[in-house]
Amino acid sequence: MLCREDSPRARDEQDAIEEVARRAAVAVGNAQLYEQERRTALTLQRSLLPQRLPTIGGLSFAWRYLPGSTGALVGGDWYDVLPLDDGRVALVVGDVMGHGIQAAATMGQLRASARAHITTDPSPSAVLARLDEAANRLEQGQIATAALAVLDPANARLTLASAGHLPPLLVPPRGEAYYLPVDPGPPLSTGLPEYPQTQTQTTLESGSILLFFTDGLVEDRKRPVDEGMKLLRVAATAAASPDQLCDQSLAALGRLAGHDDDTALLAVMVNTLGPA
């Protein structure tokens, strides 16, 4: 049955069509803004991350940064390697909670603050305490985690501290991979009146590879973090180089095809004549 254009039914149909068109236009506009913000945050974050790592005798590095797949906003993961004046090297991996431009901007501020404090007092636990103070002063007030280590290439001596971050994985030249025992302090920006300072010391065997990573590698909606860490430990055993370790880790945890959360990895191999 045909409806006259000026009939109530025709007007209702026209109103319905216009409403659908309006909602579609809003949805398209929101999607475009969402993607624009994602691209902006990704550009900002990549500009703040190291584009290359320093060349340091006795050490070799590999790193990976994978943003969240399409539809997920960029997060605040970061990594850094900083040579110190006394010949040691600082290794940092961190993760700002949240996503988008704000998380990326907070990451940049924390990375810059960590670099400044490391050069004046290269004690991992002291640096994290200063970083906690800096995080509490930020307007955004976002919680972050970080693992910070100082490694001496001359003797493979490692000093490590953690602010609520997952422990690094050590792949020895022989035997199974294992997580370094570290007593983590609370995450950064939790507002504690006095940040606890604890750190772990160990000597790495020559040929060992140490892997720092963010929780995006081992945790997702379908897999709890404990299960992911077990898979990572098995996959990492017998890795022969930092690059191989990064690639094996991403493949074993299913991160090569994309993931909701961003992921950062930093692997360092000790090639010194340290203790066997």
Q: Which domains are present in the chain?
A: 38-270 (3.60.40.10)
The DSSP secondary-structure symbol of 99 reads -
CA distance 145 to 184: 10
Check whether 102 has a pLDDT greater than 80: no
pTM for this predicted structure: 0.80
Each residue's pLDDT tens digit, 140-182: 668 899 999 999 999 999 999 999 999 999 999 999 999 999 9
Beta partners for residue 200, in sequence order: 160
CB 218 within 8 A of CB 165: no
Indicate the pLDDT class of residue 31, thresholds 50, 70 and 90: very low
Assigned token pair, 209: 């590879």
User: Among 223, 226, 232, which residue's Cα sits nearest to residue 267?
Assistant: 232
CA distance 188 to 141: 10
If you count them, how many residues does the chain have? 276
Each residue's pLDDT tens digit, 49-78: 777 889 999 999 999 988 766 544 566 888
Assigned token pair, 161: 């501290």
In the chain, which ranges are continuous DSSP H helix? 8-48, 101-120, 124-137, 225-236, 242-252
Of 3-7, 30-34, 114-118, the range with the lowest mean pLDDT is 30-34
The DSSP secondary-structure symbol of 261 reads S
